[in-house]
Structure 1
């Protein structure tokens, strides 16, 4: 039995690039939600700091998560973020609540 993968990603980019990154994250989310292994892919804009976003993800398996990382839509987002000096922090979480 494979274990679900829970990810929280924090992406911070300059305020001047925030609107463009937001569009790209939304496009990535739309494609990601269609992936077989994707159980959750929710993006949020920081209400207090322009240019900061969170992505909360749940993947059915490690293999599914790795397929996502290899996808064209994720590669496009990662390339944009790198090209524009975005700071990315990825936290692999272990839920403590059994219903998670």
Structure 2
């Protein structure tokens, strides 16, 4: 049995580009949720800092996560982030709660 992969991604972009990033993240989320290995793909916007978004992901396996990283929809989002100079921090988490 594979161990699930838990990811928290923080993306920050200039305020004037926040609406574009939000749309790009939502498009990627829609496709990601259809991936077989995707167990969670939740996006949220920072309530206090315009232009900062969080993506919380759970993937059933390392292979499933790597398939996601190679997908066309993730590539489009990564390209948008790079092209528009957004900051990206990806944190691989280890849940402490046994039911996670």
Counterpart Cα distance in 2 of 1:71 and 1:17: 24
Matches within 5 A, 1:50-65: 50-65=50-65
Q: How much has 1:24 moved relative to structure 2?
A: 0.5
Matches within 5 A, 1:52-91: 52-91=52-91
CA RMSD of aligned residues (A): 0.3
Show structure 2 runs of 5+ residues with no match: none
Q: How much has 1:44 moved relative to structure 2?
A: 0.2
| 3-state secondary structure, aligned to 2:2 | coil
**What's 1:92 paired with?**
92
**What's 1:14 paired with?**
14
Q: Does 1:4 align with 2:29?
A: no
Paired residue total: 100
